[in-house]
Amino acid sequence: MATLTTDAIQRSLEDLGTPLADVTFCVVDLETTGLSASECAITEIGAVRFRGGERLGTFQSLIDPGSAIPPSITVLTGITSAMLIDAPRIAEVLPSFLEFLGDAVVVGHNVRFDLSFLNAALAETDRPRLSNRSIDTCGLARRLIRDEVPDCRLGTLAERLRLEHQPSHRALDDVLATGDLLHLLIERAGSLGVTGLDDLLALPTMAGHPQADKLRMTDSLPRSPGVYLFRGRRGEVLYVGRATNLRARVRSYFSTDTRRKTGQMLRETARIDHLACGSALEAAVLEIRLIHSHEPRFNRHGNTWRRYAYVKLSLGERFPRLSAARTLKDDGGLYIGPLASTSAARTVIDAIQSVVPLRRCTCRATRSPGTGPCVPAQLGLAACPCSGEVDEEQYARIVTRAVEGLTSRPDLLIDPLAVLMRELADQKRFEEAEEVRCRAAALAGALRRQHRLGRLRESGRLLVLSPGRGGAEFCDGLLVQAWRADAAGDPTLEFPPASGKRPVPGEPIPRDIADELNCVAAWLESESHLLRLEHCDGTLAEPLTRIPTFRPLTDPHA
């Protein structure tokens, strides 16, 4: 059984990602004839490889730019045209430099400048752009020590922070100073929970966040799948989410997440809990169950299940009719859903009524003196008993057609809508064709979900295995346990069945489990090519013909 974790625990190096002590950094600096990579050229390359603070190797070369050195550049760097007479061209230097660089993380002060010149040189020699990850010490300094220095120029930082090496606008000197700065900034970053390379790469955008002091709450988060919970000062759950990498996802709220409510949520957050899971399926199911249990106010998606509605055909009365229902009742009715809202249910009802003339009024079968048929009956849109022109036997045939269309023969309802849509489009009545398309899409989607979840709900005990990866067990469509192949058969997530009684065929789907059923069904479909069915009490096969999808088209004739 998985348990919520709030305290820091000892984890393996793999769990922490790539520790900074194991990362190879290659600090690079270039001297150039100007500022434009497209118009100017490189005159000197300097690079030093570091790992764990140790200097592994040095690369330095003057380069003939193929043009005279501007006087202003000579004054700045001390490099003259005479110094470059015997220097190699950039095409001769690049192979050895690329071999020296390898797959190391490129580090530079304003590293984009250096990368722009390197990539321009690579393009000129028909080589691909550098794909190495990069770190800008200038950006790190702005986030970590901006308040301690007048500016973040390399010379200023080296002087104020008393770095061992001082820059001189020569490539190797500047590289060594940048290396000193990098290691000082990594030490400072430790106070913000930076332990791995991914943390350091994201730090420039995180450290400037108004709630950056709360980054320490993410220190205990693993880099594995799971569910996270933002909690307030009283322990209340503010937000529930899931991720394939818990640490990276939660820390992203302090950098890349710009949603309006994120700032407010972080201000109210006092603690971040997590529950590690063995797979994406476990995380998705657990997220749904926790959202339903806590109903966090910052969760917009997954927190609306109480507003779900059904399309109900009232088979328990003489002249059944369609209506939108918010709750399930044991009244003999046929329920389709749940759907996202009452409005969605009414759209499906409109689609059905446009094909099958079920009664739309609530009038009794015998008209009272002085009253006339309802408007739909007068227009011939509905076989309402108030018209006095339909008996129970005739109406029963209409109801039978509707029931078959909603259960075993969806084509009885879908095909007429498709024909009508094409006819309207051929007549260039595009707005009306679009209205029919929307109704058809709503009906097709509702029936597709109904059949898919119904089969899953009636499958009983279901056991699937993914060779080499693990397996999962379901009961009536709900996840009971899941395990990884490397866990010796021990479940990583275990829940008792949510319902004490077995569902019967055709039984309505309770709205409180619909989200999980949808999640499980989607997972089974997406992973079907990797799964082996070990046991199933019921039937998983879909006996119905494929229900079409009605997507919007720019051109209705397409």
CA distance to 358, 370, 384, 395, per residue, from 366 (Å): 17, 12, 11, 14
Q: What tokens appear for 363 in the block?
A: 């009038």
Q: What angle do CA 273, 297, 233 make, to 5 degrees?
A: 50
Instruction: Give the H/E segment covering residue 473.
Output: strand 470-475
Q: Which residues contact 195 (CB under 8 A, 6 or more apart)?
A: 16, 17, 19, 20, 219
- 42, β-bridge pairs: 32
Bridge partners (DSSP) of residue 59 are: 47
Residue with tokens 């489990």: 513
- Residues catalogued as catalytic: 169
Rounded CA separation 229/367 (Å): 60
The C-alpha angle with vertex 234 and arms to 231 and 236, in degrees rounded to 5, equals: 45
Helix (H, G, I), strand (E, B) or coil at 359: strand
Cα–Cα dist 253/247, whole Å: 11
Burial-class residue 200 by CB neighbours within 10 Å (0-12, 13-18, 19+).
buried
- What the block records as the tokens of 481 is 């346990």
Longest dimension (CA), the chain: 114
Q: Are 534 and 463 in contact (CB under 8 A)?
A: yes
Asked if residues 61 and 121 have their Cβ atoms less than 8 Å apart, the reply is no
Whole-angstrom distance, CA of residue 296 vs CA of residue 313 = 34
Residue 227: count of CB within 10 angstroms of its CB = 26
Place of tokens 């600090």: 27
